[in-house]
Amino acid sequence: MVETLTVSLGERSYPIRFGADLAGEVRAEADRLEAGGRKVAVLTDQNLARVQSGAFGAMFGRAPALALEAGEGSKSLAGLGRVLDFLAEQKLDRGGVLFAVGGGVIGDLGGFAAASWLRGIDFYQVPTTLLAMVDSSVGGKTGVNIAAGKNLVGAFHQPRGVFVSTNLLATLPAREFAAGMAEVVKYGLLGDRALFEQLEKQPLRVGSVELAAVIRRCCALKARIVEADERETARAGGRALLNLGHTFGHAIENVAGYGAYLHGEAVAIGLGAAARLSHQLDQLAPADVARVATVLAAHALPTRLREALPVGALMEAMARDKKVRAGLPRFVVLKALGEATTQEGVAPAMAEACFRAVGAV
C-alpha cells in the first residue's frame, strides 16, 4: 500500500510517497518529466549503484547518472564542483531535473547542486538510508561541509517530491541503520514522548513490523515543524528544535574529521550531551538523562567518544556553528522527554562539562 504525506508550503508544497517498493512510481515520474521535454539526470553514490543496481535500473533505465564515492568526503566544495560539471556535460537547461538517490550526503549535495545550477532547477529526493528517510530528505535544507564546519555552505531548496521505499533498507549496513536511529530517537525526544517510550520498550530493527509506520511518523512531525518555520527564523523553538543533539554532534564531526563518525553516531553522542546540559539547567532529571543513554545504547549507538577529542577544539568548532547568535551558540535542550525548547545564554563552562562527560579532554 502506498501512502502520501504532503508538506504544505504554498507553491513549494510537495508529496512524500511511502511504500515498500516505489521503483515503478519513480520511473513513471521520470518518464512523465521526459515526455514533457525535461531532461532527467541522476546523482547517487558508488555503494548504492553497486548494491541496488536492480532497483536503480528499474527507476532510471538509461538516464545519465553520476555515482560519487560514498561518504561524508563527497559532501564538499570539490564534490559540488563534480556535480555541477556533470550537469553541464548533460546540458541540463532550466527545465532539467535532478534525482538525488542515496543517503543524507547525496541528498544534501544534490539539493545544493540543484539550487545552484542555473540559479535553481527542480530536484527529487529518493532516500535510501534510514537517516535520509526520516530526516534529511524532507525540509529543503541542502549544503556541503567546509573545513570551518558542518553545513556552513548551503541553501534552502525544497524538493518537488520524496519517494520513501522501505525495501531499500534491506541491504543497508547495520552501522548505517543504527545511525539513522539516532534521528528517530531525536524525534521522540523533541516532540513525541510516546515514540520514545515505544523505543524504550522494544528497540527498532530493520525487520521490525513497526518500522514503516515509525518512518511516516517522523516525517509527519518534521513536515509540521517545517511548515510552521520553513527557514528557521522563529525567535524561539520552531525549526531549530530539529537541531537537538546537532550543536554538539556537528562539533564532534568537525574536530574528529568528516567521516570518522557517521552523522547519526555524532548526533547520538550529541543527544546524550544535550540531555546532560538539560539536567545542568534544572530541566531534566538524572533518571531521564540515563534513559536517553539507555535507548541510544539499545540501538547500537555510541554514547561516548571512541577516542578523546580536545575540548578546546570542540568549543571552537561549536562557536563556528551556523546556529550561533550574537556570538553565542543556541542550544536545543529538553524540558522533559518528548518536549524540547531552544536555550540561549548557556555558559561556556556548561557546554565544556557536557563534552567532558562524553569523553573529551
Given 246, 291, 299, 330, the catalytic residue: 246
Given 217, 222, 276, 291, the catalytic residue: 222
Q: What secondary structure letter does DSSP report for 45?
A: E
Q: How far apart are the first and last CA of the chain?
A: 51
222 is catalytic: yes
Given 216, 250, 279, 330, the catalytic residue: 250
Please state whether beta strands 331-336 and 339-343 pair in parallel, antiparallel, or not at all (unpaired).
antiparallel
Instruction: Give the distance from CA 136 to its chain's centroid.
Output: 3
Given 62, 91, 119, 201, the catalytic residue: 119
Residues 6+ apart with CB under 8 A from 341: 236, 237, 241, 332, 333, 334, 335
Given 176, 183, 230, 265, the catalytic residue: 183
Given 29, 176, 232, 253, the catalytic residue: 232
Closest CA to 92 of 20, 28, 51, 34: 34
Residue 98's H or E segment, with its range, is strand 97-102
263 is catalytic: yes
Closest CA to 62 of 97, 31, 86: 31
Given 39, 150, 186, 239, the catalytic residue: 239
151 is catalytic: no
Report the alpha-carbon distance of residue 274 to residue 276 in Å, rounded. 5
232 is catalytic: yes
Report the alpha-carbon distance of residue 330 to residue 239 in Å, rounded. 13
Give the amino acid at 361: V
246 is catalytic: yes
Given 75, 186, 263, 291, the catalytic residue: 263
Given 243, 254, 276, 291, the catalytic residue: 243
Report the alpha-carbon distance of residue 318 to residue 315 in Å, rounded. 5
276 is catalytic: no
Given 39, 75, 141, 279, the catalytic residue: 141
323 is catalytic: no
Give the amino acid at 23: A
Task: Determine whether 357 is exposed, middle or buried from the number of CB atoms within 10 Å of its CB (0-12, 13-18, 19+).
Answer: middle
141 is catalytic: yes
- State the catalytic residues: 119, 141, 183, 222, 232, 239, 243, 246, 250, 263
